[in-house]
Structure 1
Amino acid sequence: MIKVGLILGIAGACRTDELVNLTVDDIEDVGSSLIVKIPNTKTKIPRIFVVTDVGNMLELFRKYLSLRPPHVKHNRFFLYYKAGKCSSQPVGKNTMGKIPSVVASYLKLPDACYTGGIVDYNRLHT
């Protein structure tokens, strides 16, 4: 979930709420790329972006989507993923907002101070 959230978040410069509200129907897999529609934005201007197959990004997306349980009754794209399985519970705003800090910790960046998509570069380089 974290890797796919990072891929879509960076490729589309998405806000946390945009990722949280993303539905399965907002993403179209056209084989060599993904077409992602963000219908509800803070600025009220819908946008579309494309994710191309760089590295194994599309493979990660497809693997995550294939783990989606068939009994899920909602359409939200991001579901909690734990112990190799997706649950039917959608990912919330706070969990999605922690992705930058999780990535920073994984990369062992000093004083990981990532909140709301804003990085305090002065604190990182002191």
Structure 2
Amino acid sequence: MIKVGLILGIAGACRTDELVNLTVDDIEDVGSSLIVKIPNTKTKIPRIFVVTDMGNMLELFRKYLSLRPPHVKHKRLFCTTKQENPVGKNTMGKIPSVVASYLKLPDVACYTGHCLQRSSATLLADAGVDITTIKRHAGWKSTTVAEGYVENSIENKTKIANQVLVGTTTSAITKTVNVSESNIPSNINFENCTNVTFNLNVNK
């Protein structure tokens, strides 16, 4: 349960109550991924997210689902195996602290249920994702919250440091190299480049 809660919580930037209220009908297993629907959210904005087949995430979900007691009367995804009762908000909210304890991290008590949503937004911001995408992913109405994650992301701070200390910019630069059979270069060197896109056009 802890592993599946962690996967869904971070993949979907879920709040604790969203995980608690998640039902088996809200998740569609399409083979290569899971399509998860969050119909009821704090901000009244329904959203959908996908869990792809990375590592053994789908295997863990399917294994957990197979352990579901056969005569459970409710449709909540997370339930106690022995008592067949739905898992409550307090139990779900302890998942981050349980994971932190397993990883032997300091200040385990600081890892609350909100860490799942916060970790998801932080990972997106550090990957360079824009504010609008983060806002929609987490289901926030206000842009201010999403801006905080982008402003504090390591990726964003690194770009700022490069601009201030090194003088590099993030503006687009286009370089065209014409190559024929008679003048094929032995190598082309690129230095101090990030977010580079190569477009190769072959004319016969």
Bin the TM-score by the shorter chain. Answer: 0.7 to 0.9
Alignment partner, residue 42 of structure 1: 42
Deviations 1:64-110 (A, max 9, x none): 000011100001000124xxxx5411100000000000000000001
- Cα distance in 2 between the residues matched to 1:63 and 1:87: 19
1:103 to 94, 99, 104: 99
TM-score (norm. length: structure 1)? 0.87
- Cα distance in 1 between the residues matched to 2:112 and 2:6: 14
8 Å contact kept, 2:35–2:49: yes
1:117 and 2:114 are equivalent in the alignment = yes
8 Å contact kept, 2:92–2:113: no
Larger fraction in helix: 2
Output the aligned Cα RMSD.
1.2
Alignment partner, residue 65 of structure 2: 65
Of structures 1 and 2, the one scoring higher in RCO (CA 8 A, sep 6+) is: 1
- How far off its partner does 1:117 sit? 1.7
8 Å contact kept, 1:69–1:87: no
One-letter identity of the residue aligned with 2:90: N
Larger fraction in strand: 1
In structure 1, list runs of 5 or more residues that go unmatched. 120-126
8 Å contact kept, 1:35–1:50: yes
Alignment partner, residue 27 of structure 2: 27
| Structure 1 residue ranges, 4+ long, deviating more than 4 angstroms after superposition | none
In structure 2, list runs of 5 or more residues that go unmatched. 119-204
1:15 and 2:12 are equivalent in the alignment = no
8 Å contact kept, 2:27–2:36: yes
1:92 to 88, 91, 109: 88
SS at match of 1:28: strand
